[in-house]
């Protein structure tokens, strides 16, 4: 069953912090390869994952233990894992961050395991953090009959504050008298509104460079820039209606519109469904030629949806896509029918909105 949701939002005031981000202030991805030990027989099968044995041999050699060549180690309590983390902006040495541990072999479960010291590297192949600790894995439930039912992924887990930052990222924040803001969505009107709001506040000189980037000139110095940026982020901007957009979920058939989407005259045939949108203007004139009244032109739209072999469903109202979707729902149209009809309307130029299928 298809569903449609329509949200018509009036102009509202939003803070700049909700509309834009500061260029260069972002998380940095870290990644590492390590071993989880202490598993209860649920580790990698070394005959199928030889890299686990090789990693353990290399680690033992660094600890002064030499494994004789040709030794066939049957490891059931060890698993090779990938460790990922996000390094927050302005992180300092000694700060703890969370890490995610994921099995890369055929381990059945990482429950009860301990991650050995694992260096975490950035995109420049430099070590920025060291991870180690006990892996927390989600649990499993049991049905009424006593049979075990898995409700969580057991081949991955998380270590809260499991990594310690050892190297700080260089930053030039505060070294120059320029702060660059990046809008979450490109919009020339919004970029102009944000720059005008900053200029009216007097905290800096803002210039909209394009539909997404806004450059703000402020006094040099990190301490002053922090205070100025805090003031800029709390400035309210009156945001008007955004561009009309229609989002279709191809799996569920749900349709979401961010505003009232209008249609022009068109006719679409899809399978056993046909949609006709007939838009005409009705002219109202005063009763007498010299009555002093004004001629009024009112657009009238007839939306007809027919299913072959069935009754004609007709809607008389404004040219609204929401009415078309609701009428298609009453006829039991499939999500594929809905997507094909909307795509045809967009291609024909009668759908006054951006169409996006997810």
pLDDT tops 70 at residue 37: yes
At residue 116 the predicted structure's pLDDT band, cuts being 50, 70 and 90, is very high
What average pLDDT score do residues 18-29 get? 87
Q: Can you spell out the DSSP letters for 46-57?
A: TTT-HHHHHHHH
Residues contacting residue 47 through CB under 8 Å, at least 6 positions apart:
none
SS (H, E, C) 207-227: EECCCCEEEEECCCCHHHHHH
Rg (CA), the chain: 31
What does the pLDDT look like over 255-278, one tens digit per residue? 777 766 667 666 666 566 666 666
Contact of 56 with 75, CB cutoff 8 Å: yes
% of the chain surpassing 70 pLDDT: 68
What does the pLDDT look like over 62-85, one tens digit per residue? 888 877 777 777 778 888 999 999
Contact of 207 with 195, CB cutoff 8 Å: yes
DSSP H or E run through 24: none
Candidate from 29-43, 83-97, 133-147, 209-223 with smallest mean pLDDT: 133-147
Higher pLDDT, 283 or 115: 115
Higher pLDDT, 62 or 118: 118
Strand pairing report for 3-6 and 254-257: parallel
Domains in the chain, ordered, with CATH?
14-24+173-239 (3.90.1150.10), 28-165 (no CATH), 245-357 (no CATH)
Residue 323: alpha-carbon gap to chain centroid? 29
Nearest to 254 by CA among 321, 327, 338: 338
């Amino acid at each position: 069953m298809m569903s449609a949701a329509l949200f018509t939002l009036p102009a509202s005031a939003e803070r700049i912090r909700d509309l834009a981000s500061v260029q260069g202030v972002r998380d940095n991805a870290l990644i590492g390869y390590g071993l989880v030990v202490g598993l209860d027989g649920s580790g990698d099968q070394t005959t199928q994952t030889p890299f686990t044995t090789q990693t353990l041999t290399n680690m033992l050699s660094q600890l002064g233990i030499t494994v004789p060549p040709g030794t066939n180690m049957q490891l059931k309590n060890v698993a090779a894992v990938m460790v990922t983390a996000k390094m927050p902006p302005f992180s300092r040495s000694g700060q703890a961050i969370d890490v995610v541990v994921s099995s890369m072999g055929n381990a059945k479960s990482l429950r009860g395991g301990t991650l050995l010291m694992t260096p975490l590297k950035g995109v420049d192949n430099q070590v920025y953090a060291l991870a180690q600790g006990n892996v927390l894995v989600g649990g499993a439930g049991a049905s009424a009959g006593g049979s075990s039912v898995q409700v969580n992924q057991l081949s991955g887990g998380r270590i809260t504050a499991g990594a310690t930052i050892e190297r700080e990222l260089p930053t030039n924040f505060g070294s120059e008298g320029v702060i660059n803001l990046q809008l979450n969505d490109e919009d020339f009107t919004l970029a102009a509104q944000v720059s005008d709001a900053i200029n009216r506040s007097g905290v800096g000189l803002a210039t909209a460079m394009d539909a997404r980037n806004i450059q703000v000139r402020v006094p040099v110095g990190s301490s002053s820039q922090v205070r100025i940026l805090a003031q800029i982020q709390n400035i309210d901007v009156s945001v008007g209606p955004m561009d009309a957009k229609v989002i279709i979920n191809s799996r569920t058939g749900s349709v979401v519109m961010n505003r009232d989407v209008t249609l022009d005259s068109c006719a679409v045939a899809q399978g056993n469904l046909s949609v006709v949108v007939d838009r005409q203007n009705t002219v109202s004139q005063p009763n007498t030629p010299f009555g002093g009244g004004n001629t009024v032109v009112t657009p009238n739209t007839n939306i007809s949806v027919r299913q072959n072999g069935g009754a004609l469903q007709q809607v008389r109202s404004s040219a609204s896509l929401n009415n078309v979707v609701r009428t298609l729902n009453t006829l039991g149209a499939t999500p594929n029918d809905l997507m094909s009809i909307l795509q045809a309307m967009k291609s024909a130029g009668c759908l006054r909105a951006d169409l996006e299928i997810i």
